[in-house]
């Protein structure tokens, strides 16, 4: 099962709102507000790479108040 970590920049002050919306997205397994360059980190899992791409493109990136994302697809999971 493909997994990706998505780093998200949200509009200032809307981090909790975006986090709450992320938690409703099918495929988002975990999401956290973080300090640093990005505001939120989410772990996304799907059955196929195409479905993973769709979740990130159509469900995460298009959430209201998401300004930008950086997607890191896991190549090799921890053993």
Identify the CATH class of 3-73: alpha beta
pLDDT tens-digit readout, 28-54: 999 999 999 999 999 999 999 999 999
Percentage of residues in the chain having pLDDT higher than 70: 100
Residue 10's pLDDT band, with cuts at 50, 70 and 90, is very high
| Distance in angstroms (rounded) separating the CA atoms of residues 42 and 73 | 12
Q: Which pLDDT does position 55 carry in this prediction?
A: 97
Spell out the SS3 assignment of the chain: CCEEEEEEEECCCCHHHHHHHHCCCCCEEEEEECCCCCCEEEEEECCCHHHHHHHHHHHHCCCCCEEEEEEEECCCCCC
Domain ranges in the chain are 3-73
Q: Which pLDDT does position 7 carry in this prediction?
A: 98
């Amino acid at each position: 099962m493909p997994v990706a970590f998505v780093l998200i920049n949200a509009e200032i002050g809307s981090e909790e709102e975006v986090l709450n919306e992320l938690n409703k997205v099918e495929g988002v397994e975990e999401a956290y507000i973080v300090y640093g360059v990005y505001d939120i980190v989410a772990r996304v899992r799907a059955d196929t790479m195409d479905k993973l791409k769709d979740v990130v493109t159509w469900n995460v990136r298009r959430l209201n108040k998401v300004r930008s994302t950086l997607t890191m697809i896991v190549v090799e999971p921890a053993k």
